[in-house]
């Protein structure tokens, strides 16, 4: 009874707010009114909240209908909450959607901008996550011939429908350029799920192969097996790959020359998959090395190597994902800022890993003569860990850094003046420097603490080992990059290419804009003039004229009489 | 490389890996072999099969006669529906044996992650067969005595 009373009060409260707001907004207000963002936030926030409530309620009701198991004790309170969610939330959601539709019809700008994009993205991402998780669970039960629980199936159906509805509605209202962000978030979620699926498939395969008689015997033979894990990975891969195809191939990857796409491919694609591949490879090699030359945690082969198939599978899948994202970047022959960003990113990741490895080597060296180990990982294992990290990531850094330095030697003015290089050098110097200072403070603190206490000794050396290792390794990195930065500053960048800003006014031609950017390295802004539809840009002529111009800001105008290049200051 | 070509290669590689894995999984997946019932690992296997089948009366027959474990202790134990128990190691003398196993069960995440624990069964020789002593998995407390 008390629940019903609270619901009635809530309905009255929400209705009174809606009516008050309608009263306020129905009075003529200029589109620039400061009340507009507040109203929009309320409208979209409320519709988002009601959308979640109604979807949860409908999924709860459907789960009752789909649950085939014989109910011993019915959970009446969950049924009551599902009913109330649908009965109260449903009409309110319809009402608020009608209100939104009218608002957008009266002022189309209501469907643009941060607020609608934020709530639509949030709704679609939540729908995707719930649909993916419950869809995978339902598929897994299906391939295992296990009974599918009613609530799982209901969640998969209802949140799947909700996802389609949100995408359809949002795409009709929000401009594609605004709503594009959700395709990247969706690509990331479904891509990670697909990677998990493929890793599970490969892991299952390796476990099965290694369990065969005559092979390494690294997998323990089953005494009892009521699991049917072999096909789990397929269930995950099938659903997530289908969704990834929609999000990435069909949507996010269709426009490949903007910052959002590049950031995703470089950070999540290349960076994320490289970290996965390198980490998994390091873990795999480390486990094998410890078994042969270190101090393994178990003498039983099958126990010790139980996780090895998983780490090898993750390394293979990580390498595949890295190759895929790397191959999406423009051709290596054209050394653009994109190519540079890729090389510097890989170089940074592998250098950070190598620095961590060097720190651990130093810690292991100090540990070997400062600490008597009673239990836990021995110094030999620490040393193997460090050497493995350096063995895997060191060559990657060496290859990419040499490639970068070769380019800097061949055309110093282009490489040295690149903002990507400057950011890279300053970041490594800055982060390395800050870490060194923190480590130094820690060491001095520990020394003073020892001096004022029990006195300096082997125990002090043992305490400062991590800080000392980090100080030396990050100090080397910071000093090396500072030296490179100083060296770069000596290069005569006055003769280097000045990055120009070009404002194009003429017909729309994306291919021409891309060619101009590639040829001149300039920042290009394109404005479309209304009466130049029949004209086309003379590519070679424009490139030649831009290169001849000594000004950094120029306006390039295409008229029926030809191209005009005008120096401007904007 | 063009986007289309990269997508095609990725699709072919993933489909290839999946097909090979599916064929091998279906070809190599064999039913769990039954070990010699007079061996320590065979005794543990039968005990565990009875446990996962929730046939606790049969499970009790594999325990030593002086075992503190009663059927009520097994009723209280938590046994997952889906479990894989692998044989890790067996050490055996004339009168005693230790069978180490790895128990893998679902950790509940939607992507089918596993939780692994190592368990040891200690056995004593009894006439022609072996009996399990102590408080064996999945029980952790028998007759008020904790493991």
CB-based contact, A109 to chain B, within 8 Å: no
Nearest to A327 among B6, B22, B24 (CB): B6
CATH label of the domain that carries residue B81: 3.10.450.50
Query: To the nearest 5 percent, what fractions of chain B are helix, strand and coil?
Result: 35, 30, 35
Taking the C-alpha atoms of residue A43 and residue A97, their distance in angstroms, rounded to an integer, is 9
Q: A249, A276, A293 — which closes off a domain?
A: A249
Q: Is B39 strand, coil or helix?
A: coil
Q: What is the pLDDT of residues A99-133, one digit of tens each?
A: 888 888 888 777 777 888 888 889 999 999 999 99
Kindly report the nearest CA distance between residue A221 and chain B, in angstroms: 5
Between positions 322 and 351 of A, the ones with CB within 8 A of B are 324, 327-328, 331
Q: Which residues of chain A have a CB within 8 Å of the CB of B87?
A: 220-223, 302
Taking the C-alpha atoms of residue A201 and residue A222, their distance in angstroms, rounded to an integer, is 19
Whether residues B44 and B89 fall in one domain: yes
Measured CA distances, A342 to A212, A240, A284, B4 (Å)? 42, 27, 26, 20
B141: closest CA among B55, B80, B75?
B75
CB-based contact, B34 to chain A, within 8 Å: no
- Inter-chain contact B85–A222, Cβ cutoff 8 Å? yes
More confident residue, B19 or A299: B19
The answer to the question of residue A339 being in a domain is: no
- Whether pTM exceeds 0.80: no
Q: How many residues does chain B have?
A: 147
Overall number of domains in chain A: 2
Overall number of domains in chain B: 2
Q: A249, A275, A291 — which closes off a domain?
A: A249
Q: Which residues of chain B have a CB within 8 Å of the CB of A194?
A: 14
State chain B's maximal CA–CA distance in angstroms. Answer: 73
The strand pairing partners of A527, in sequence order, are A505
Contact A327, A345 (CB under 8 A): no
Residue A492: pLDDT band with limits 50, 70, 90: low
Whether residues B56 and B108 fall in one domain: yes
- Which range of residues forms the domain containing residue B101? 35-146
**Phi, psi (degrees; rounded to nearest 5) at B81:** -65, -45
The answer to the question of residue A384 being in a domain is: no
Whether residues B64 and B99 fall in one domain: yes
Number of H helices, E strands in chain A: 20, 5
The answer to the question of residue A13 being in a domain is: no
Whether residues B113 and B44 fall in one domain: yes
User: Which residue blocks in A107-180 are alpha helix, DSSP H?
Assistant: 114-143, 150-173, 176-179
Query: CA angle, A299 as apex, A298 and A301 as ends, to 5°?
Result: 95
- Which range of residues forms the domain containing residue A157? 37-67+75-249
Whether residues B49 and B113 fall in one domain: yes
Whether residues B9 and B76 fall in one domain: no
Residue of A nearest to B27 (CA): A208
Whether residues B142 and B75 fall in one domain: yes
Q: What is the pLDDT of residues A229-245, one digit of tens each?
A: 667 888 889 999 999 99
Whether residues B65 and B104 fall in one domain: yes
CB-based contact, B44 to chain A, within 8 Å: yes
Q: What is the pLDDT of residues A54-87, one digit of tens each?
A: 999 999 889 888 876 655 556 677 788 888 899 9
Average pLDDT, chain A: 81
Whether residues B62 and B120 fall in one domain: yes
CB-based contact, B128 to chain A, within 8 Å: no
ipTM of the complex, rounded to two decimals: 0.72
The answer to the question of residue A94 being in a domain is: yes
Query: CA angle, A426 as apex, A425 and A427 as ends, to 5°?
Result: 95
User: How many residue pairs from chains A and B have C-beta atoms closer than 8 A?
Assistant: 131
Kindly report the nearest CA distance between residue B58 and chain A, in angstroms: 16
Whether residues B39 and B26 fall in one domain: no
Q: Which of A94-103, A240-249, A380-389 has the highest mean pLDDT?
A: A240-249
Q: Which residues of chain A have a CB within 8 Å of the CB of B116?
A: 306
CB-based contact, A224 to chain B, within 8 Å: yes
DSSP assigned state of A229: G
Whether residues B68 and B131 fall in one domain: yes
CB-based contact, A402 to chain B, within 8 Å: no
CB-based contact, B81 to chain A, within 8 Å: yes
Whether residues B21 and B74 fall in one domain: no
Residue of B nearest to A227 (CA): B82
CB-based contact, B36 to chain A, within 8 Å: no
CB-based contact, A312 to chain B, within 8 Å: no
């Amino acid at each position: 009874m008390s629940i019903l009373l609270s619901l009635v009060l809530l309905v009255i409260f929400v209705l009174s707010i809606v009516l008050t707001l309608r009263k306020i907004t129905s009075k003529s207000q200029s589109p620039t009114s400061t009340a507009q963002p507040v109203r929009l936030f309320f409208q979209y926030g409320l519709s988002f909240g009601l959308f979640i409530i109604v979807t949860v309620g409908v999924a709860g009701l459907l789960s009752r209908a789909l649950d085939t198991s014989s109910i011993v004790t019915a959970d009446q309170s969950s049924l009551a909450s599902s009913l109330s969610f649908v009965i109260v939330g449903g009409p309110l959601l319809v009402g608020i959607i009608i209100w939104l539709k009218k608002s957008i019809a009266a002022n189309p700008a209501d469907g643009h901008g941060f607020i609608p994009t934020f709530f639509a993205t949030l709704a679609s991402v939540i729908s995707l996550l719930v649909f993916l998780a419950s869809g995978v669970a339902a598929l897994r039960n299906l391939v295992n011939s296990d009974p599918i629980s009613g609530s799982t199936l209901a969640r998969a159906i209802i949140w799947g429908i909700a996802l389609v509805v949100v995408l359809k509605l949002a795409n009709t209202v929000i401009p594609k350029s605004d709503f594009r962000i959700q395709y990247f978030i969706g690509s990331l979620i479904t891509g990670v799920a697909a990677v998990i699926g493929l890793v599970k498939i490969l892991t299952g395969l390796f476990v099965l192969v290694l369990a065969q008689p005559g092979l390494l015997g690294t997998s323990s033979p089953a005494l009892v097996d009521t699991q049917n894990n072999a096909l789990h990975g397929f269930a995950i891969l099938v659903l997530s790959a289908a969704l990834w195809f929609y999000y990435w191939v069909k949507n996010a990857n269709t426009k490949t020359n903007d910052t959002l796409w590049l950031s995703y491919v470089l950070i999540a694609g290349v960076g994320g998959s490289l970290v996965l591949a390198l980490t998994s490879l390091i873990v795999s090699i480390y486990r094998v090395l410890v078994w042969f030359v270190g101090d393994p945690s178990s003498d039983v082969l099958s126990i010790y190597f139980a996780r090895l198939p998983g780490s090898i599978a993750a390394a293979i899948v990580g390498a595949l994902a890295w190759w895929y994202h790397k191959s999406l970047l423009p051709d290596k022959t054209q050394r653009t800022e994109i190519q540079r960003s890729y090389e510097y990113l890989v170089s940074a990741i592998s250098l950070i890993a190598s620095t961590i490895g060097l720190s651990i080597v130093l810690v292991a060296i100090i540990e070997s003569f400062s600490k008597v180990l009673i239990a836990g990982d021995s110094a030999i294992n620490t040393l193997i860990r460090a050497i493995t990290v350096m063995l895997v990531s060191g060559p990657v850094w060496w290859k990419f850094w040499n490639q970068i330095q070769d380019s800097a030697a061949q055309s110093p003015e282009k490489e040295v003046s690149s903002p990507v290089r400057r950011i890279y050098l300053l970041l490594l110097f800055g982060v390395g420097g800050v870490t060194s200072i923190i480590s130094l403070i820690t060491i001095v603190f520990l020394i003073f603490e020892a001096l004022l206490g029990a006195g300096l000794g082997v125990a002090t050396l043992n305490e400062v080992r991590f800080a000392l290792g980090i100080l030396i390794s990050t100090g080397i990195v910071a000093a090396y990059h500072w030296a490179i930065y100083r060296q770069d500053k000596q290069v005569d960048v006055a003769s280097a290419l000045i990055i120009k800003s070009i404002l194009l006014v003429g017909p729309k031609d994306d291919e021409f804009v891309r060619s101009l950017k590639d040829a001149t390295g300039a920042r290009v802004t394109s404005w479309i003039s209304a009466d130049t539809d029949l004209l086309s840009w003379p590519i070679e002529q424009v490139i030649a004229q831009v290169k001849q111009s000594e000004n950094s800001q120029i306006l390039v105008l295409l008229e029926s009489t030809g191209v005009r290049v005008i120096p401007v200051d904007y | 490389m063009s986007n289309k070509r990269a997508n095609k290669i990725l699709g072919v590689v993933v489909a290839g890996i999946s097909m090979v894995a599916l064929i091998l999984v279906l070809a190599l997946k064999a039913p769990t072999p039954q070990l010699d019932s007079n061996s320590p690992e065979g005794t543990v296997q039968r005990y565990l099969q009875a446990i996962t089948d929730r046939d606790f009366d049969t499970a009790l027959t594999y325990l030593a006669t002086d075992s503190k474990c009663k059927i009520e202790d097994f009723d209280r134990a938590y046994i997952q529906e889906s479990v894989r128990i692998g044989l890790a190691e067996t050490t055996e003398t004339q009168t005693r044996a230790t069978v180490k196993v790895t128990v893998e069960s679902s950790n509940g995440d939607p992507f089918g992650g596993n939780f692994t624990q190592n368990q040891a069964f200690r056995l004593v020789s009894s006439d022609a067969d072996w009996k399990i002593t102590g408080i064996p998995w999945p029980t952790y407390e028998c007759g008020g005595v904790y493991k």
